[in-house]
Amino acid sequence: MKTMLINIKELIQVRETGILKVSGAEMAVLPTIKNAYLLFENDIISDFGSMENCPNQTFDELIDATGRVVLPTWCDSHTHLVYAGNRVQEFVDRINGLSYEEIAYRGGGILNSAQKLNETSEEEIYEQSKVRLEEVMKLGTGAIEIKSGYGLTVEGEIKMLRVIRRLAENYPIEIKATFLGSHAFPKEYKENHAGYIDLIINEMLPKIAAEKLADYIDAFLETGYFSVEETERIMIAGKKHGLIPKIHVNQFTAIGGIEVCVKHNALTVDHLEVVTDEDIIVLKNAETMAVALPSCSYFISIPYTPARKMIDAGLPLALATDYNPGTTPSGNMNFVVATACIKMKMTPEEAVNAATINGAYAMGVSNTHGSITKGKKANIILTKPIHSFYQLPYEFGSNHIEKVFIEGKLIS
Ligand code: NIG
Ligand code: FE
CA 52 to chain centre: 37
Assign 105 a pLDDT band (cuts: 50, 70, 90).
confident
The residue whose C-alpha atom lies closest to atom 8 belonging to ligand 1 is 326
Q: In ligand 1, which atom is closest to the CA atom of 325?
A: 10
Domains of the chain, earliest start first: 2-72+370-410 (2.30.40.10), 75-361 (3.20.20.140)
Q: Is the pLDDT of residue 288 over 90?
A: yes
83 CA: nearest ligand 1 atom: 10
Q: Would you state the pLDDT for residue 245?
A: 98
Q: Which atom of ligand 1 is nearest to the CA of 326?
A: 9
Name residue 176's beta-bridge partners: 145
Distance 376 CA to ligand 2 centre (A): 28
Mean pLDDT, the chain, whole residue set: 97
Contact 69, 10 (CB under 8 A): yes
The answer to whether 406 and 142 have CB atoms below 8 angstroms apart is: yes
The DSSP bridge partners found for residue 245 are 217
Q: Which residues line ligand 1 (CB under 6 A)?
A: 109-110, 113, 220, 248, 251, 296, 322, 324-327
Question: Residue 106 above 90 pLDDT?
Answer: no
C-alpha angle 90/96/98, rounded to 5°?
60
Task: Pick the residue whose CA is nearest to atom 5 on ligand 1.
Answer: 327
How far does the centroid of ligand 1 lie from the alpha carbon of residue 259, in Å? 21
pLDDT at 102: 92
pLDDT tens-place string over residues 9-62: 999 999 998 899 999 999 999 999 999 999 999 999 999 999 999 999 999 999
Residues 390-407 as b/e (b if ≥16 CB within 10 A, e otherwise) read ebbbbeeeeebbebbbbb
| Proximal ligand: closest to the CA of 249 | 1
Q: Measured over all CA atoms, what is the biggest interatomic distance in the chain, rounded to whole angstroms?
A: 71
What distances in angstroms separate CA 302 from CA 76, 110, 137, 256, one per listed residue?
21, 18, 28, 20
